[in-house]
A and B are shown apart, each in its own frame.
Chain A
Amino acid sequence: EPEVTQTPSHQVTQMGQEVILRCVPISNHLYFYWYRQILGQKVEFLVSFYNNEISEKSEIFDDQFSVERPDGSNFTLKIRSTKLEDSAMYFCASSEQGSVTEAFFGQGTRLTVV
């Protein structure tokens, strides 16, 4: 069964460092997303990406964040200068047809900023 895969599963980084979280969406999906979940809180939308550009981003997704689809299979989230409050689970998701179909999520990357 096709699935969304994320690497690494856990990343520890020092405050101020750059991190790149990687995702391989389901192969025939066209819409890609990043969400985050701070421990004990809701899953929050960060950004949606379609046709090689951002289609929507939340207030959380400020200039420190960027996304890229560097090739035909990977989708990355970069945080340029991490802060303590960036510590969270980050989930990548993909869907076939955006706001018409369901999204499938990866298992997440736990980011710990120290």
Chain B
Amino acid sequence: GDSVTQMEGPVTLSEEAFLTINCTYTATGYPSLFWYVQYPGEGLQLLLKATKADDKGSNKGFEATYRKETTSFHLEKGSVQVSDSAVYFCALSPLNQAGTALIFGKGTTLSVSS
């Protein structure tokens, strides 16, 4: 079945460091891909998304490119801040139909220190 694999955390960085969180997927067809972020004690917020190959999603300095050839959707940010400390989830939506559930990776915890 469809699945998402994320790099294991936690990821610990200093402020202004470069961030990469790897995400690869297995899916039949052409899924949509998402990154969600969960700040401590809060719900999930959509960070960015891409719906077709070569699309680049971006938001708040974060970027991810839908790479069909490598089935990847890696999250990057050039300079992290302490406020970016959170759990990041890569997810896919396998079918373009109503009610399709998201399939999530296991999440990657990012901790940024000043």
Partners in one complex: no
